[in-house]
Amino acid sequence: MTGAHGCKIVVGVPSTAAELDDYIVDPRGRNLMSAQHLTAQIYTRQIMTPLAREIAQWSQLGGSVYTGATSETLATALADGPTLALILVSHWQDLPIPAIELFDGMRRIEEIANAFPSDYVGAIDLCICQATGLAKALMSRAPDCIVRWENVETTPAIWFPVYTLAFTLMRDRGITYMSAMDEAIRGFLYVSKAELEPSAIGISRRFWRRGGCPG
């Protein structure tokens, strides 16, 4: 396999105009836009358009992209051939309960973690703000997995081209997902320091953890 084959990108937030219309008409408890005070126009400009652009690249580089993700999509993605890495693009809430946004509503972190088999050994990349609680649940569920996560609030769109570069490095150099992401992050810090959020990127680079729970 070459490129991003074996990398599954599960998208739990709107990535098309139709998905955004559905969100507005029937939120089903989802709260990304209200929590972040986003109008449809701002969401489209800041998140949806950059996301849709990179999704096309991810597919071309061999990644398997699952948009409109519900609570059943994680299991579907994991069952759909070998999984080297699963990237979850979504939104986190702390209250009233810790939960992750998917298209069928806000789902408890235990439900997300339990979608993974206990013997899962691939990487899990959480493109989600402040996801330490989910990271802990995932590592408890699958002790041999490797998790990258954010423990700060960040702008998700800054990560979309980082994934594209990582997938390109996987294709061109035949390196692992974790190595490709580390190199992609270093590259973006070098060429785009004014645009990225160095504190968030720096924190995330230290957060490749295998097994156990973070201290």
13 CB-contact burial (10 Å; exposed 0-12 / middle 13-18 / buried 19+): buried
Q: Residue range 47-74: average pLDDT?
A: 96
H runs (alpha helix) in the chain: 17-25, 32-35, 40-43, 49-60, 73-79, 109-114, 132-141, 160-173, 177-191, 198-205
Q: Which CATH class is domain 7-210?
A: alpha beta
What's residue 162's pLDDT? Answer: 93
pTM: 0.89
Distance CA 108, CA 52 (A): 26
Residue 214: pLDDT over 80: no
Write out the DSSP string of 158-202: GTHHHHHHHHHHHHHH---HHHHHHHHHHHHHHH-TTTS-HHHHH
Q: Reply yes or no: is the peptide bond before residue 198 cis, omega within 30 of 0.
A: no
What's residue 2's pLDDT? Answer: 64
pLDDT in tens, 138-197: 999 999 999 998 787 777 788 999 999 999 999 999 999 999 999 998 887 655 444 444
Under the banding of pLDDT at 50, 70 and 90, the label for residue 209 is low
% of the chain beyond a pLDDT of 70 = 87
Residue 10: pLDDT over 80: yes
Q: Give the residue extent of every domain in the chain.
A: 7-210
Under the banding of pLDDT at 50, 70 and 90, the label for residue 204 is very low
Residue 207: pLDDT over 60: no
- The CA–CA distances, whole Å, from 199 to 126, 152, 165, 205 equal 17, 9, 20, 10
Helix (H, G, I), strand (E, B) or coil at 51: helix
What's residue 194's pLDDT? Answer: 43
Q: Residue range 92-100: average pLDDT?
A: 91
